[in-house]
Amino acid sequence: MKLEPAALKQMVRVVLSTRPDEIGCDECMDQLERFVELTLAGKNAAEAMPLVHDHLERCRDCREEFEALLKVLRALA
């Protein structure tokens, strides 16, 4: 299997940007409801929950879950 140069660069960038205090997808999902609540309340969720914010910046799947939940709750409000 041969990796394309762009994919390889992205993988290296992700590895080099890892932090010792990162959270994984499971922990992010456990805290996502609170992150959304803060966002909907107009609070700075990124400042209040930096590890969740950081994970959402790095993980497309979790970011999509966040955006979907936010969209649904805004529609219900």
pTM: 0.74
In a domain, 8, yes or no: no
> Which residue in this structure is represented by tokens 């960038």?
13
Distance in Å from the first CA to the final CA of the chain = 49
For residue 70, the model assigns a pLDDT of: 97
In a domain, 43, yes or no: yes
For residue 47, the model assigns a pLDDT of: 97
For residue 17, the model assigns a pLDDT of: 65
For 41, which DSSP code?
T
For residue 77, the model assigns a pLDDT of: 83
- Closest residue by Cα to residue 50 from 30, 70, 21: 21
For residue 2, the model assigns a pLDDT of: 80
- Report the C-alpha gap between 2 and 33 in whole angstroms: 39
For residue 61, the model assigns a pLDDT of: 97
In a domain, 52, yes or no: yes
Domain, as residue range, for 44: 21-76
Total domains, the chain: 1
What are the mean pLDDT values of the chain's consecutive 10-residue runs (77 residues total)?
Answer: 82 71 94 97 97 95 97 94
